[in-house]
Amino acid sequence: MHSLVIRKLTRSAAGCGLLVCAAAGWTQVLPFTVDAALQRAGIPVSAVGIYVQDVSAGAALLEVNAAAGFSPASVMKLVTTDAALELLGPTYAWKTRAYAAGPQYGDVLQGDLIIQGSGDPKLVLENFWLFLRRIRAQGIRTINGNLVLDRSAFEDKPYDAAAFDGEPAKPYNVGPDALLLNYKTIGVRFLPDAAGAAVQVSVDLPLAGFRVAAPALSGGDCGNWQDKLGAEFTDDGIVFNGAFPLACGDKTWYMNPYRISPVQFFGKMFRQMWQELGGTFNGAVIDGRLPNDASLITEWSSQALPEIIRDINKYSNNVMARQVLLSLAPEIPMLPASTQRGADAVRFWLAGKGINAPELVIENGSGLSRYERISPRTLGRMLVAAFHAPTMPEFIGSLPLAGLDGTMRKRLQNDTITGQAHVKTGSLDQVRSIAGYVLAASGRRYVVVCLINDPNAALGRAAQDALLQWIYQDW
């Protein structure tokens, strides 16, 4: 059980609508609406951590269990992205480079093509196509060698996509990679054909040799249609042993083809797209290192960091957050970036701001973890510091707007606070969290953090929304 540490408010309880009571020998002060919502949800105050502070004030307005370490879920992404903005800089971009190892005669490369990655979190289909177009624009059509993938910027550790929750096909369980391509995620579209008594299946990515065995067509309700498909991943595709209900209509299932390695995935996409661009390649796709005598052909630059973190925070992209944390590891020649060194960089960065965080545990920087921990006070103080940093506009602009977009789009709609709060959300089994900024009706801006770790945490959303509304209306 978390110890209760609560700071009394300067306003009167009557004036602010606050509940004052005794709990575990401490004085507890909570807004009536928040306390009532927690009671309805069956969530004890000991399972809740809250930190509220005016960004221009030196002391917290409200603290509940503020020093205790909580599982933060996806609000951990705020720590990773804020650190990235300050340590890497708002103009930072990842480079993906193509090199030739061998001479070029006419349109023939007599040697290997090497592609070296630096961890671009958003090397998606469109960007990869443009990158290959740049290689073709150098006059190369035929590659009489291998495609060598230099993924050495990141540590190459065994990765189990099923380790977190036993759902390896979920896109959020894709692991980090220095040459991450299209988030290593495919979209499989199912289109039932009643007349032909069959299901048409297509994949939204060009993947050479990727085989898909379509499911049978069935009647009945759509229901949990994904469970009915009997998906079985193989080394070169997917087999659907079940059936797809006609009532489902047109559906798309986004999946991680987890039995295909990142090298195989990259190779299949390269082969198909290179052929579609009029190129010829008959070599192997292998892991390797950039040789010293290779010559640069061209490079692709990612979007700038602020656009990357906007995707991470507004839409809670886990694999992109992992990529960013690895990118924070200090560059050491011949030593690939590791999660541990990225996490150490974050701790040093916080310490440089005078934020001591003994409770902080960073496993991957995305919050998709059963081990990550942070206290409401550490996160709240970091958010206050972020507001006064030069990168404040980029950081706040990356957060979802209450009632309008991102993961807050369906929360606090048509309310007075709609559009007045930039708030990141997080959810795991037994975890619900929010953290961000509220622009109160008074014109003052407040940092707010609310972390709930409890079996009934899924019912805690009303309490968190009540906290946001209380800050907006009463302060």
For the chain, what is the radius of gyration of the CA atoms?
A: 25
Closest Cα to residue 20, out of 10, 5, 35? 35
Reported pTM: 0.92
Q: Which of 284, 290, 257 has its CA nearest to residue 270? A: 284
Is pLDDT at 458 greater than 80 in this prediction?
yes
* DSSP type of residue 130: H
Would you say 252 and 188 are in contact if contact means Cβ atoms under 8 Å apart?
yes
pLDDT score at 58: 86
With a pLDDT cut of 90, the percent of the chain lying above it is 90
CA 447 to chain centre: 22
Residues 335, 97: Cα–Cα separation, whole Å:
19
What is the CA 441 to chain-centroid distance, rounded? 32
> Rounded mean pLDDT of 286-307?
97
Strand partners, 18: 31
Note whether 378 and 350 are within 8 A (CB).
yes
Q: Which segments of 380-430 are extended strands (E)?
A: 421-428
Overall average pLDDT of the 117-132 stretch:
98
Element (H, E) at 245: strand 243-245
Q: How confident is the model at residue 2 (pLDDT cuts 50, 70, 90)?
A: very low
Query: Does the pLDDT at position 340 exceed 70?
Result: yes
Q: What is the predicted pLDDT for the residue at 314?
A: 97
Cα-based distances in Å from 402 to 103, 358, 368, 464:
56, 32, 23, 12
Q: Which residues contact 282 (CB under 8 A, 6 or more apart)?
A: none
- What is the mean pLDDT of the segment spanning 206-230? 95
Domains and CATH numbers, the chain: 13-90+307-474 (3.40.710.10), 95-158+261-302 (3.50.80.20), 186-255 (no CATH)
- Distance (Å, whole) CA 175 – CA 368: 11
Strands (E), 94-170: 95-101, 104-105, 108-109, 112-116, 142-143, 147-150
- Percent of the chain scoring above 70 in pLDDT: 94
| Whether the predicted pLDDT of 200 surpasses 70 | yes
What is the mean pLDDT of the segment spanning 158-183? 97
